[in-house]
Amino acid sequence: MKNDDILAIKELLATPKKIVIIPHRSPDGDAMGSTLALYHFLLKENHQAVVIAPNDFPNFLAWLPSSETVLIFENDKENCIKIIQEAEIVFTLDFNALHRTGEMEHVLNKVTAPMIMIDHHQKPDSYATYTYSDTVFGSTCEMVYNFISYLGKKEAIDKTIATCIYTGITTDSGSFRFPSTTSTTHRIVADLIDIGINNSEIHNLLFDNNSYNRLQLLGRALQNMKVFPELKTSYISLSQKELDEFHYEKGDTEGIVNYGLTIKGIEFAAIFIEHRDENIIKISFRSQGDFDVNQFARDHFNGGGHINAAGGKSYESLKKTIEKFEKIISETKQ
């Protein structure tokens, strides 16, 4: 982070402010962990802070400290718009472009208060007054740890803040297995454990909370998997009918895409999920090695993300979307 920016932000935060903190739409562990970590820190520093999420977060994150205070824009638009308009500082966390907040984009475009972006995605837009963006980090949570440290407030990181930070580091690193996991990541985690987080319990809360239906849905997803060994590619699809059959709840499909990569020799995996209510096919891409799924998602499926993890969407039917995908991979992958 630029030294001048740190000084300017220190100055901004020197007196109590009304602050809004915003994660991306369909917030994941890193988005919720980073926004709530910052929220708890700012409260400790005597600011008035609130997290406003564009839409609801999945149940497996509902145990996060103070998640019950998070406002959901979609459910409470008038109130949220008023709070955003009155904010003296707006933080945007874990996304690189305002359209990642869905409908909130129009409200955020009109913000005149200073905006601070903390994010680790490629190609950040330039809407923020202060941009702390670096793809070298595996998670925004790791950056929030740095951000608080840069402000000279590292000692303010208590068990609550550390728990939120650990959550995002864990989920965005695939439990410390993705290449973005560095020795620094582990040093930060060591510090969080010293601060008193219960790392083992956090893993249980995040990953050992399946419903029977969710596991059955996973079973169906695995049965639907198609594998193209010569293209080192596999994909999974789930139709709305299948989601309904297993009483789909938000978060139930989280992580399923990764199973494609667990097949020996597979380096590129995708999942296509039909969302009738939004009339889109939500797509996730994952890769191992050099294949750049961020570029793939940008080029073909209205999306983006990181080199090894990206997402996108399609406005065509599930069948047509999959046909298009098969055509592209057969033409572009050797």
Measured from the CB atom, the residue of 189 and 312 that comes closer to ligand 5GP is 312
Measured CA to CA, the distance from residue 174 to residue 185 in angstroms comes to 13
Measured from the CB atom, the residue of 34 and 160 that comes closer to ligand 5GP is 34
Measured CA to CA, the distance from residue 254 to residue 284 in angstroms comes to 10
Measured from the CB atom, the residue of 232 and 313 that comes closer to ligand 5GP is 313
Q: CB under 5 to 8 A by kind: which of Mn ion, ligand 5GP, none does 124 bind?
A: none
172 is a site residue for Mn ion (CB under 5 A)? yes
Is beta strand 18-22 parallel, antiparallel or unpaired with respect to 48-53?
A: parallel
94 is a site residue for Mn ion (CB under 5 A)? yes
Measured CA to CA, the distance from residue 144 to residue 327 in angstroms comes to 41
What is the SS3 assignment for 273?
Answer: strand
Q: CB under 5 to 8 A by kind: which of Mn ion, ligand 5GP, none does 312 bind?
A: ligand 5GP
Measured CA to CA, the distance from residue 128 to residue 32 in angstroms comes to 20
Residues at the site binding ligand 5GP, with contacts judged by CB under 6 A: 24, 284, 303-306, 309-313
| Span interacting with Mn ion, options 62-70, 139-147, 291-299, 313-321, rule CB under 5 A | 139-147
Contacts of 133 (CB under 8 A, 6+ apart): 96, 117, 118, 119, 120, 121, 124
In this structure, are residues 304 and 325 in contact, taking their beta carbons and an 8 Å threshold?
Answer: no
Q: Supply the angle between the helices 159-172 and 140-150 in degrees, to the nearest 10.
A: 140
Residue 205 Cβ vs ligand 5GP, minimum distance, rounded to whole Å = 19
| Span interacting with Mn ion, options 5-13, 171-179, 259-267, 282-290, rule CB under 5 A | 171-179
Residue 1 Cβ vs ligand 5GP, minimum distance, rounded to whole Å = 20
Put the strands of the sheet holding 18-22 in their side by side order. 71-72, 48-53, 18-22, 89-93, 115-119, 130-133
Residue 304 Cβ vs ligand 5GP, minimum distance, rounded to whole Å = 3
Measured from the CB atom, the residue of 172 and 274 that comes closer to Mn ion is 172
Residue 334 Cβ vs Mn ion, minimum distance, rounded to whole Å = 31
Residue 297 Cβ vs ligand 5GP, minimum distance, rounded to whole Å = 7
Measured from the CB atom, the residue of 104 and 144 that comes closer to Mn ion is 144
Q: CB under 5 to 8 A by kind: which of Mn ion, ligand 5GP, none does 284 bind?
A: ligand 5GP
- Using a 10 angstrom Cβ sphere, with 0-12 exposed, 13-18 middle and 19 or more buried, the burial of residue 71 is middle
CA distances from 163 to 167, 186, 280, 303, 322 (A): 6, 15, 34, 30, 39
Question: Closest residue (Cβ) to ligand 5GP?
Answer: 311
30 is a site residue for Mn ion (CB under 5 A)? yes
Residue 287 Cβ vs ligand 5GP, minimum distance, rounded to whole Å = 11
Measured CA to CA, the distance from residue 107 to residue 102 in angstroms comes to 10
In this structure, are residues 59 and 251 in contact, taking their beta carbons and an 8 Å threshold?
Answer: yes
142 is a site residue for Mn ion (CB under 5 A)? no
Positions that interact with Mn ion (CB under 5 A):
30, 94, 140, 172
